[in-house]
Every structure is written in structure tokens, then in C-alpha cells.
Amino acid sequence: MKADEYVQPHADAELDTSGLSCPLPLLKTKLELNGMPGGAVLKVTVTDPGSQRDFRSFARLSGNPLLHESTVQGIYCYWLQKKPEC
């Protein structure tokens, strides 16, 4: 593997919210995470540029870690891990 290549985190499920504007990508993400077991990873694809701030805040406030994020040609991808269930 070359130094500039990055292996994307494993995702147990994927959610494509392309074309949706705030707050819909975040709402759909929250609903999807609610149905997943603790520790599972959700990859979310978004085209709303405001999503960077939203997803970072959501991860911090909800306790669902943001494992990785990437941006390529106006497409934002986020890998969120569902917090462990109590």
C-alpha cells in the first residue's frame, strides 16, 4: 500500500442521503443508528456541505464516535460507530 492510500473503515451498513438538505441527512442517520446494535459502523454519504459541522457535533453530543470522514468532489462520507448499548 502506498503512503497516500487510506483503507476506509469497515461499514456494517450504508446510508445514502445524497441530494437531501439539512436536517434530513442527520435525521435519517439517527434513525438508522437506532436500529443497529452497539459497536456497528454506519457509513453515510451526503452532498450537503453543511453536513461536516452537523455530523461532528452529532457524534460529540450523541456519544456515537465519528471514526472517519472524507470529502471527494463535493461528496461527504462519514463512518459513525453506534455507541455500546447499556
The catalytic site residues sit at 22
- Rounded CA-CA distance 17/30 in Å is 12
50-71 burial: b if 16+ Cβ within 10 Å, else e: ebeebbeebbeebebebbbbee
- Rounded CA-CA distance 33/27 in Å is 10
